[in-house]
Structures are given as C-alpha cells and as structure tokens.
Amino acid sequence: MLSRLPIFARFRWTPNYSLWLGIAILSGGLQAAGLVPAWRYDRSLISAGELWLLFSGHLVHLNWSHWALNMVGLGMVAFFFSDHAGFRQWLWVLFCAALFAGVGLYWRDPDMQTYVGLSGVLHGLFIFGALREIRIYPASGYVLFILLVAKLTWEAVNGPLPGSETMTGGRVATDAHLYGAIGGGFAALSRYLGELLYQLVEIKNR
C-alpha cells in the first residue's frame, strides 16, 4: 500500500534528479560535440552487430530544437513522477523503454533506416509514471493515462500530431512512441508483480 504523498513533495530535490540531469547533460554534450551520426540508430550498422546503437540513438537529436523539446518532456517526468520509484527502478524503466523502442523499430519498421531522439523513451517514462500516479493521486493519474492512450491512438490512426514535425524539424517516428510506451507498461507490470510476490512471501513467513 502506497502512502499518499503531499503535493509539495513534487518540489523536493531527490537523488533521482541526478539521473534526469545526467541524461540531459550527456545528451546535450553529444549534440554539441557533433556525435549524432556516430550515435544514432542506424539499421545497417545494427545489422552488422553494432547493437549498442539500439540504445544510443535515443540520446542524440536532429537539432537543438528537437533536443530542447525532449528535455522539456524529461523535466516533466522529473517534476511529476520522480518520487514514484527509486533510482534503480527508474534505470529499469529507462532500459525497458529504450529496448522496446529500439528493437520495435528494428523488428517492425524495416524501412526506418535511421532514428534519433528521446521521445520513444519519454513515452515509456510517462506511461510508467501515470500508472504509478494512479496509485497515489488517482484522479490525475487516470486523466494522464487516458490522454497518453488517446495521443498514441491518434498517432496510430492519423500520424504525428499537427505541428510536431514543424517543431522538431524532421519526420516524427510515431511507432517509436508506441514501442517505448509498451516498454514503460512492461516495466510497470514487472514492478507490480515484484511487489505482489514480495507481499505473498511476507504473508507466508508470518
């Protein structure tokens, strides 16, 4: 059972913020150093064995505008959800979202030759955060989850949201959003099952 956190807890600095800050600094550093071509998701190189590009492609961006938009999204995750899980749990969510987004693109989108951006991972973080939010602040959690599902449904049916490609300066890979969100949902399910198993063990040992 999760205790209800006071709303002002969202303004409190926690160790998890070092994770979000580290991602922002690393991503910005790669952008400034001009390492986008070397770190981006590249299907031909991945097929040749460069599997690390499945993950590194999420850290580089088309341009500084694209980077800034994703950093705003990361800041929202940090502000609204940082306290909903521990440092290692957030690492697990990041891994799942990045893995599902990268492998999903490789497996399901053979025409996608290159890809950059954190947006797929961000959708996983938001899905995980919304599902955890439901257990603490149900009203806002359900609203956010419904909005996320509605956004993903729109993108699946109609393509990118109006104006999103103009803001990023390139094609929006909406499939990466879906795959990343599935990864975030998987991470949330694994945490729930872990908590359930822990409770069963505790009951058995009483």
The model's pLDDT over 17-55, given as tens digits with 9 standing for 90+, comes to 999 999 999 999 999 999 999 999 999 999 999 999 999
Asked if residue 59 lies in contact with residue 39, where contact means CB atoms within 8 angstroms, the answer is: yes
| More confidently predicted of 93 and 203 | 93
pLDDT of residue 3: 44
pLDDT of residue 147: 96
Helix (H) or strand (E) holding 42: strand 41-42
Is a pLDDT exceeding 50 seen at residue 66? yes
Q: Considering the domain boundaries, does residue 21 fall inside one?
A: no
From the number of C-beta atoms within 10 Å of its C-beta (0-12, 13-18, 19+), residue 154 rates as middle
Q: Considering the domain boundaries, does residue 153 fall inside one?
A: yes
89: left (phi over 0), alpha (psi -120 to 50) or beta: alpha
Q: Considering the domain boundaries, does residue 77 fall inside one?
A: yes
Q: Considering the domain boundaries, does residue 73 fall inside one?
A: yes
The tokens 């891994």 sit on which residue? 95
Candidates 70, 93, 92, 84; CA nearest to 14 is 84
Domain that holds residue 89: 37-205
pLDDT of residue 1: 39
Q: Considering the domain boundaries, does residue 3 fall inside one?
A: no
Mean pLDDT computed over 54-74: 96
Q: Considering the domain boundaries, does residue 25 fall inside one?
A: no
Which domain CATH number covers 42? Answer: 1.20.1540.10
- d(CA 127, CA 87) in angstroms, rounded, equals 17
pLDDT of residue 2: 46
Q: Considering the domain boundaries, does residue 30 fall inside one?
A: no
Q: How many domains does the chain divide into?
A: 1
Tokens encoding 129:
């955060």
Is a pLDDT exceeding 90 seen at residue 204? no
Is a pLDDT exceeding 90 seen at residue 117? yes
Name every residue whose Cβ is closer than 8 Å to that of residue 75 and which is 6 or more positions away in sequence: 20
pLDDT of residue 171: 86
Asked if residue 88 lies in contact with residue 148, where contact means CB atoms within 8 angstroms, the answer is: no
| pTM for this predicted structure | 0.90
Asked if residue 41 lies in contact with residue 114, where contact means CB atoms within 8 angstroms, the answer is: yes
pLDDT in tens, 119-172: 999 999 999 999 999 988 899 999 999 999 999 999 999 998 888 888 887 888
Q: Considering the domain boundaries, does residue 172 fall inside one?
A: yes
pLDDT classification of 9: cutoffs 50, 70, 90: low
pLDDT in tens, 191-201: 889 888 878 87
pLDDT classification of 179: cutoffs 50, 70, 90: very high
